[in-house]
Amino acid sequence: MSDKMRDEFEVFYEQYMIDEGRGVEHIKNELASFTPERNKYGYSDAQEFWVIWQASRAALVVDLPSMTNNGYEGFYRESEVKRVMRYAGVSYK
């Protein structure tokens, strides 16, 4: 998984654990325990959340509209992609 995804996970995890009453220092230690070579955290809570986070992203599949439906074979119209993403419940920027 990408560094961007892990960064997003860590922002989520930190805020979630703060909301759950965990100490900030403990959370920082959990997140600092990540080993890139193994793609794992050294603390079980962080690791379990990380596995679930990755699985949720891997399970996300969106069927894009046919490329020939938009009149320009080989290109998607932005409005069509946004419509399909909204229908699938996916946010985008």
Task: Answer whether residue 69 shows pLDDT above 60.
Answer: no
Sequence spans of domains, the chain: 3-58, 61-93
* Region of poorest pLDDT, from 8-12, 26-30, 62-66, 72-76: 72-76
Kindly compute the dihedral angle of the four CA atoms of residues 68, 74, 77, 82, in this order, to the nearest 10 degrees: 90
Q: Which residues contact 40 (CB under 8 A, 6 or more apart)?
A: 34, 47, 50
Measured distance CA(60)–CA(80) in Å, rounded? 18
Task: Answer whether residue 1 shows pLDDT above 70.
Answer: no
Tokens encoding 73 = 């074979």
